């Protein structure tokens, strides 16, 4: 990525840049804006503006599958007093 003046800013990860290049060639257009920058890091937002006619059902930024994630919050964080829970020994008696 470069500024309008031609100064190098940084680059996207290879997998994301390859995807955006491929979709751009198929007709998608994008806008980007710098969100924040430090001397060692630049964060940007990339927005899909239009989709190509032949790839209208292909998202530019697919959502990762988090179906394998199971949240667990210990009872101590939810309740002031620990709730009564049966032990395994009580279950099998």
How many Cβ atoms are within 10 Å of 28's Cβ, its own excluded?
19
Give per-residue pLDDT as tens, 27-72.
999 998 888 888 888 888 899 999 998 888 888 888 765 555 556 6
Structural Rg of the chain based on CA atoms: 24
| Predicted local confidence at residue 40, as pLDDT | 81
Structure tokens at 29: 């257009």
Predicted TM-score (pTM) of the model is 0.58
User: Does residue 91 have a pLDDT over 70?
Assistant: no
């Amino acid at each position: 990525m470069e500024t309008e003046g031609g100064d190098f800013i940084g680059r996207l990860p290879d997998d994301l840049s390859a995807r955006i290049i491929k979709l751009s060639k198929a007709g998608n257009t994008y806008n980007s804006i710098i969100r924040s920058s430090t001397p060692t890091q630049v964060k940007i937002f990339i927005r899909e503006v239009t989709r190509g006619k032949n790839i209208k059902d292909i998202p530019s930024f697919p959502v990762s599958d988090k179906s394998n994630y199971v949240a667990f919050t210990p009872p101590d964080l939810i309740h002031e007093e620990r709730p009564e829970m049966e032990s395994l020994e009580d279950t099998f008696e």
